[in-house]
Copies of this chain bind each other. A is one copy, B any other.
Amino acid sequence: MIFEHSEKVKNLQNKLYAFMEEHVYPNEKVFEQQLNDQHDRWRQIPSIMEELKQKAKDEGLWNLFLPDNKYGAGLTNVEYAPLCEIMGRSLIAPEVFNCSAPDTGNMEVLVRYGSDEQKEKWLKPLLSGDIRSCFSMTEPDVASSDATNIEMDIKGHGDHYVIHGRKWWSSGAGDPRCKISIVMGKTNMDASRHEQQSMILVPLDTPGVKIERMLPVFGYDDAPHGHAEITFDQVRVPKENIILGEGKGFAIAQGRLGPGRIHHCMRLIGLAERSLEELCKRVQKRSAFGQPLSKQGVIKEWIADSRVEIEQARLLTLKAAYMMDTVGNKKAKKEIAMIKVVAPSMALRVIDRAIQAFGAAGVSDDAPLARFWATARTLRIADGPDEVHKAQIAKLELNDWN
């Protein structure tokens, strides 16, 4: 039982902290400004982003998420966790280090399950940060928390598949650099429940693929990344675009979602940590009723509650990461479900307290908090709503006692 990171990790932490201070935080407003200076927030990626990516690459802070030694940094989940947390402190940071969702998940899928050709064509430019990708699983017409509800049709015709259906919340599809989607659909309605689905690579410029609209999140467009509703109207792609083979969609999804979920949690801890820092600074600068806000008992309680909640969630994340590293994602499913339930709610409470401490500034964009909150709120739903994960935890728990 050792609660300390290795020297390797500490060094990377220090480098990341310094990079964030020097390059990321000061450029958050620059990024937003460059977006706003365009006629259309979706047209172009703010140039500052490519500059920052180059800097990160130069410093070796690149693809740290990828446990694979050949393609990425080869860090374990436990090693990556504290680094991912630091990146999570700014909404623009993960992309700077090529560690942003859904690309990370897509890259992992390609590393693990992709054919050599798929790797060459899609993994390489993703790893270099030249293109981006999206993941099309959720559908507007069914409760997608139950993955067996998915209706998208993928039919084989000779050397092609024909894909037909509607997806939404394909995050990242708004980005002009987004070239490829991993699409989940059903190749065989008659197979057993968990072998009906397949995953297939669909280039976004394939005829029949249409971005219908970009969905806002609590009023934020999240440009240039964005969340797309996409129709696939009899879209034809070659057979070799299938990943791993027909009927493997559910299995890949399970493999993909473990790391994806825990990365979200690591980032949320960073988000919460930064919010608490903002709160602590603010309440020492403002006074009301004759004393600094920091002297007021209720605010002290907010700080203490935030600290204990963050710390516990961080430890649980690390424990889950440790389990993934030691017994594998499948056996760690209870721990993954646990942290997926804990981290978003924890972050929401901490951020909300910070908003309250900031008063009116907190709900506006002068502080980063309102957008932090909106981002965290989606994660009580994305990758499985709380209720589904809790039911899963309970089921596993009950199994121990029956």
CB within 8 Å of B: which residues of A?
Answer: 1-6, 78, 138, 140, 142-146, 149, 168-169, 215-221, 227, 276-277, 280-281, 283-284, 286-289, 293-294, 296-301, 303-305, 307-308, 311-313, 315-316, 318-319, 322-323, 338, 341-342, 355-356, 359-366, 370-371, 373-374, 377-378, 380-382, 385-391, 393-395, 397-398, 400-402
Contacts and interface: CB of A to CB of B under 8 A. Distances in A.
Closest 8 pairs between A and B when the two form their complex, measured CB to CB: A297-B297, A219-B219, A300-B394, A304-B390, A219-B220, A315-B315, A312-B312, A146-B288
Contacts of A149: 287-288
Given A144-B360, A356-B380, 14 more contacts: A2-B2, A143-B359, A146-B288, A276-B397, A280-B397, A280-B400, A281-B401, A298-B390, A301-B394, A307-B338, A311-B316, A312-B313, A315-B315, A356-B381
A218 B318 CA distance: 31
B363 A378 contact: yes
Determine chain A's interface SS by DSSP, over half rule: helix
A305 B386 CA distance: 11
Given A149-B288, A217-B219, A341-B304, A381 B398 contact: no
B3 A322 contact: yes
A397 to B, nearest CB: 5
Nearest to A215: B364
B294 A296 contact: no
A131 B358 CA distance: 32
Most B C-beta atoms less than 10 A away, residue of A298, A313, A402: A298
A316 B312 contact: yes
B322 A2 contact: yes
Contact of A296 (B286, B342, B387): B387
Contacts of A374: 218-219, 363
Contact of A338 (B4, B294, B308): B308
A371 B217 CA distance: 10
Nearest to A144: B359
Given A3-B322, A78-B1, A301 B304 contact: no
Nearest to A395: B300
A70 to B, nearest CB: 24
Most B C-beta atoms less than 10 A away, residue of A146, A362, A401: A401
Given A297-B298, A390-B305, A318 B360 contact: no
